[in-house]
Structure 1
């Protein structure tokens, strides 16, 4: 059965509750991350990528379950800890909190707009994928050719725009076309990744101003 945001509020309520529960699990992973040895950071990052790829593959078979989703969230939270710790050392805890607040405010604003507007943003899909590949290419180049502060800021700004765009695209698609209950775990992961990547690029933007 296809659930539509127009005709039923219960699927949205279930999605919201699941998303909040997933955030709680990711927060727990972030808390646990402080006790994870540095030698485990890379294996955990690889495990996070593997779990995400498994979910993407399983999505086509409608086999993405809640245990897999929560496992991904736990590992993702744990891998965030060293990254957050790095940015705290570079820009300070207050700036990290400000970056989080800015990301949360921006994410909420565009998500509400995307859910309420009558515009169809499906056309953004192709542009956003091209932008994501371009961003990835720039990040790879940066490993070999360090960019100036202005270049770093430009990459961060591009990342912010891309993940705000993904937020609009994903939320608008849900609002217009609805979703099945089986889709909820993958939807939660998509929305989570939109927000976390937005937060990371806001942090990069703040840090580029400090260098």
Structure 2
């Protein structure tokens, strides 16, 4: 029933590797985390406004079109100053779609606890996995092909769950997405640390989308466990 699991099962975004190849990894990491903090704050503010105004969810079709359109624009503009504007447009749009989803869970019995647990779980997973990669500097680039294939399967399965009203499949997809997004955090952070990603805009988008999908998937799983159904 939750449309959030039918779209944006993260995006494998890669830099085109231009003159930025000489940028030190620590600088890319610093810029990525700075932009990630700004976009998360901005998206959260938009989500809060969307929830407070009780704006309706745009629906699965408009959500997919808006998401992939803005993602494409961000990728094309990632090596220019316009790329920053595209990032905030994308993350703001995602925040807008998140507002109605959060309202849905807040309306449930114990909804505040569900949202808080999903937020805490997302933060714990992100910081825990990031700290592991940053301290170990382990290379997780070998996971790329598996993650890409997994996200395609999850996206298609999520769409099927929405259109054919299959709650069990939707929950299965949510559980799979939690694992896939955890893998994406390892993969992208590893690429930054080991010099495989030199474009901080693309790195930010990858991590942001992973965090977003991780949060919405945890919301659905916790919401189901906390429901009376």
Deviations 1:47-100 (A, max 9, x none): 3332112223444xx346211111222222111100111122235111111111
Contact 1:44–1:79, Cα closer than 8 Å, also in 2: no
The within-5 A match list for 1:74-89 is 74-89=92-107
Match of 1:23 in 2: 40
Is residue 2:189 matched to residue 1:171? yes
Q: Bigger CA drift: 112-121 or 20-29? A: 112-121
Match of 1:146 in 2: 166
Query: Deviation at 1:139?
Result: 1.5
Match of 2:23 in 1: 3
Match of 1:155 in 2: 173
| Greater RCO (CA < 8 Å, at least 6 residues apart) | 2
Contact 1:157–1:205, Cα closer than 8 Å, also in 2: yes
Over 4 Å off, 4+ runs: none
More helix per residue: 1
Query: Deviation at 1:21?
Result: 1.4
2:29 aligned residue (12, 19, 28): 12
Q: Structure 1 pair 99/37, CA: closer, same or farther in 2 (3 Å)?
A: closer
Q: Structure 1 pair 106/25, CA: closer, same or farther in 2 (3 Å)?
A: same
Q: TM-score, normalised by structure 1?
A: 0.83
Match of 1:126 in 2: 145
The alignment covers a number of residue pairs equal to: 201
The within-5 A match list for 1:195-210 is 195-209=211-225, 210=227
Structure 1 unaligned regions, length at least 5? none
Contact 1:3–1:179, Cα closer than 8 Å, also in 2: no
Counterpart-to-counterpart distance in 1, 2:196 and 2:144: 17
Query: Deviation at 1:146?
Result: 1.7
Match of 2:114 in 1: 95
Q: Structure 1 pair 160/179, CA: closer, same or farther in 2 (3 Å)?
A: closer
Contact 2:133–2:189, Cα closer than 8 Å, also in 1: yes
